[in-house]
Amino acid sequence: MEMTFSRQVERWDIFEAICPGKTAGNPFTDYTIRGTFKSKNETKSVDGFYDGDGIYKVRFMPSFAEEYHFEITGNFSGEKYSGSFPVTPASVNNHGPVRVAYTYHFAYEDGTPYFSVGTTCYVWELQSEELQKKTLETLKKSAFNKIRFCILPKHLDYNLKEPRSYPYIGKPMDSSVLTKENFHEYDGNPPGNEWDFKRFNVEHFRHIEKCIGELRNLGIEADLIVMHPYDRWGFSMMDAECDDLYWNYVIARFAAYRNVWWSLANEYNTMRQKKTCDWERYAAIICEKDVYNHPRSIHNCGVYFYDHSRPWITHCSIQKFDIYKTTEFAAEYRVRYRKPVVFDEISYEGNIQHDWGNISGKELVRRFWEATVRGAYAGHGETYIHPDDILWWSHGGELYGESPPRLKFLYRILSETPGPGLKPLAGPSWMDPAATVEELFGTSGYYLYYFGFLRPSFKDFYFDDTNEYEAEVIDTWKMTIKKTGVFRGRFRVDLPGKEYMAIRIQRKKNG
């Protein structure tokens, strides 16, 4: 068998070289493969990986539309492989990977603003084919442009069924002993698991990269949770050598996808067996091996935040459940960390027994708006009880809540913002959040006010005596926008005073 490779690829898409190689011993640990790619504007080297059946692969995401030359080296084979391929301009819906932009916001590589409206479906990709298809159909109709999910299976309440596949060769414990009452007794690595943590189940990872590609085709970022504590298989209990092998393999397989984000862990501080030195070591591996510099963060439980000032963290991924002050901290975090702030968990719309999983759709929408007007971003989740325990929060499927269409409406408002995102407006109290846009764009004539606490019957404004300002009242629940007039000097905008309303004010261009 000879090497095969992509003969042409578009900018920010995936080049792949497939090479035959050695199978003796353990190909996952005994052999190496690495590709070096050169063009007029860049030179990058990336690790390849073993994909089973004597096949080794190298993947690469080109950053420029120009001719590339490559060379593949390593002890996986006695042969030398090289070649070249053209990179064409990006297609209309390909904006490149998401980057941090203007300190507190995000944009695609081509400069298109990216307004994060995320959701959580922890192990949607490890469900049945039918349920996965339904999840993708639901996402296609929604405004969600980021989804958080795990590479490893999940063991938690409502998550007692076996996944479609496992990441390692071996067999799991007997799950027939699990009940809703005793599942906590099997946390961690109970007897019965038999895994070879140095031999990956390639089918597991092939399927996940297929799902990443399907999300990419929908314009959705794949926020990959690489480690987590919800475990009965022992995957959270591996030693440092096996952890590092896992990290390197995951990066080699997934990093070339432009829509990948890295979340080192969900609720990192509940993984008691991992220390800060472990998280810093994983971060160092990402920074070295992910040559594309995808977004990186780590998610907390409770008040035990990781130090988001660490240079490897690109944005703050925060879980906070406080009723009203959850998002008041957004402005504080912006000042403290000077990075984008994403509240990836602010409780879930649903009706399960856990406090974090039974807020109303109206309350979730309020929290989203609060986060937005305070210059941050928020994440959605849904936990409505289902006869078969199929909850969007973990399994995907269909959405039953009231919040998704309202979040789609909020995304529309964000998309109409002049500039990359909102900046908290100095002056109003935490009860009356307000925002303008980042000053560097010279568009400070844009203002957005949100009334999710006091809900007054009117609001008075004064900006200057010269310019004209157009005001609109936004009903964030009924999803309506009503123009109230064009004003100069001091003016008043009336509000219904009963629902969660917003006011958008924009300076007239001819003012």
Q: Where do the structural domains in the chain lie, given as residue ranges?
A: 4-88, 98-415, 422-507
Whole-number Cα distances in Å, 92 to 11, 95, 354: 11, 8, 44
User: Into which CATH architecture does domain 98-415 fall?
Assistant: Alpha-Beta Barrel (3.20)
Would the CA dihedral through 238, 241, 245, 251 be positive or negative?
positive
pLDDT in tens, 203-261: 999 999 999 999 999 999 999 999 999 999 999 999 999 999 999 999 999 999 999 99
Q: Residue 186 CB: number of other CB atoms within 10 A?
A: 19
The percent of residues above 70 in pLDDT, for the chain, comes to: 96
Whole-number Cα distances in Å, 57 to 46, 50, 243, 381, 462: 11, 6, 21, 36, 62
Topology of domain 422-507 in CATH is Immunoglobulin-like (2.60.40)
**pTM (two decimals):** 0.96
CA 115, CA 106: separation in Å to the nearest integer? 7
Q: At CA 274, angle to CA 268 and CA 276, rounded to 5?
A: 80
Give me 510's structure tokens.
């001819």
Confidence class for position 71, pLDDT limits 50, 70, 90: very high
CATH number of this structure's domain 4-88: 2.60.40.10
CA 119, CA 139: separation in Å to the nearest integer? 10
Per DSSP, the residues of 184-225 read GGG-S--TT-EEEEEEE-HHHHHHHHHHHHHHHHTT-EEEEE
Burial environment of residue 66 by CB neighbours within 10 A (0 to 12, 13 to 18, 19 or more): middle
Confidence class for position 4, pLDDT limits 50, 70, 90: very high
pLDDT in tens, 167-192: 999 999 999 999 999 999 999 999 99
Confidence class for position 511, pLDDT limits 50, 70, 90: very low
Give me 477's structure tokens.
């629940």
pLDDT in tens, 18-44: 999 999 999 999 999 999 999 999 999
CB of 66 closer than 8 Å to CB of 87:
yes
pLDDT at residue number 442: 57
CA 305, CA 511: separation in Å to the nearest integer? 46
Q: At CA 178, angle to CA 173 and CA 184, rounded to 5?
A: 95
Check for a shared fold between 4-88 and 422-507.
yes
CB of 285 closer than 8 Å to CB of 255:
no
Q: For the chain, percent helix, then strand, then coil, each to nearest 5?
A: 25, 30, 45
